Amino acid sequence: MKINNNILEIFNELDNHSIRHQVEFRPNEAAQIKDVSDLVKNINKIIPLMNYPGNNPNNGHTHHKFKVGREYSRVLYLNVVKAYMPKGFNWNHFFGALKELGRDFHADENELHENSSGSMTWRYWWD
């Protein structure tokens, strides 16, 4: 799904005038935000799509979300609901891959922001 041009224009306008904000996007929408596009595309590649038994209509869909904004400088949050990940998913390997991507994309802050039994949030921030 391509992001609506009006939404992108509004986000860009907000981005130009606000120093603290976050806007939540679906993975394919976040991949269209110029500052984080390549990082988002790389993250999207390492997160499995939903895959339930049988002909579940949610199969093959993404389930994670991104928040893009500013905390004085560009910030990107990745949120994953753990119930959508495959049974036996290797979280330590996943966290290592997210950390490596943050280094590759020169994030000044690159960390596991929140981690509970139900979800996790990773944070990237650039100065």
Strand, helix or coil at 39?
A: helix
Name residue, tokens 């004085």.
72
Residue 5 has pLDDT above 80, yes or no: no
CA distance 67 to 119: 15
Residue 94: domain span: 5-125
SS3 54: coil
pLDDT tens digits for 22-76? 999 999 999 999 999 999 999 999 999 988 888 888 888 999 999 999 999 999 9
Q: How far apart are CA 34 and CA 4, in angstroms?
A: 15
Is the pLDDT at 4 greater than 80? The verdict is: no
The CATH number of whichever domain residue 80 belongs to comes to 3.30.565
Whole-prediction pTM value? Answer: 0.92
Q: How many domains does the chain have?
A: 1
